Structure 1
Amino acid sequence: MYGSSASDQVSVCWDDGDPVSIPVGTPWLRAAQILGHTVPTGCLYGSCGACEIEVNGHVVRACVSSVCESSGALKVELATDPYW
């Protein structure tokens, strides 16, 4: 669906859990489901910021972003926002 070869996958580690291979191009909301997590959402258009996650320290809006290629594992955490 999102790629089939091992080279089209990246290792994703959510909140210090075990790394899981996720196909590059998988939407982050779907990747979270695969990893057993739920990302809060609001508008689903990337405007409100409710779905922000941190990928290797960079804030990403999960509703409009997908898993990207990486030379190493991607470490993911929910972004912390005192207003959400």
Structure 2
Amino acid sequence: MKVQVSFLPDNIIVEAEIGEPILEVAKRAGISIPTGCLMGYCHACEVELDEGESICACISAIPSGSKYVNINLYTDIGW
């Protein structure tokens, strides 16, 4: 099933499959999400979903349950 993914704040929109890794979807959309450990420990790749839930993009995939997903990219990483 296809999901419309919006990367905010620039509102870059791309289609993705449920379960597709977020880093791969971002790369396909021309977005570079900073990474560190690629295991979810350092939180360099932390993004926020619609509901305000913070997740590590390196270990997360496009969630099921909606036809639309907004991923808020942090503009100031603070580390």
Fold similarity call, TM over 0.5: yes
Whole-Å Cα distance in 2 between the matches of residues 33 and 82 of structure 1? 19
- Secondary structure (helix, strand or coil) at the match of 1:67 reads coil
CA contact (8 A) 1:10 1:70 kept: no
Q: TM-score, normalised by structure 1?
A: 0.78
Q: How many residues align?
A: 77
Residue 41 of structure 1 corresponds to 35
**Identity %, equivalent residues:** 38
Q: 1:18 to 1:44 in 2, by over 3 A?
A: closer
Q: Deviation digits for residues 8-66 of structure 1, max 9, x if unmatched?
A: 12111111525322111111110111121000001111000000011112111011111
Counterpart in 2 of 1:74? 69
Task: Give structure 2 stretches of 5+ with no counterpart.
Answer: none
Which amino acid is the alignment partner of residue 11 of structure 1?
Q
5+ unaligned residues in a row in structure 1: which ranges? 1-7
Alpha-carbon distance in structure 2 between the residues aligned to 1:36 and 1:53? 16
Equivalent position amino acid for 2:15 in 1: S
What is the RMSD of the two structures over their aligned residues, measured on CA atoms?
Answer: 1.8
- Return the offset for 1:79: 3.2
TM-score for both structures, normalised by structure 2: 0.82
Q: Tell me which residue corresponds to 2:7.
A: 14
* Distance 1:30-1:81 versus aligned 2 partners, 3 A rule: same
Greater C-alpha radius of gyration: 1
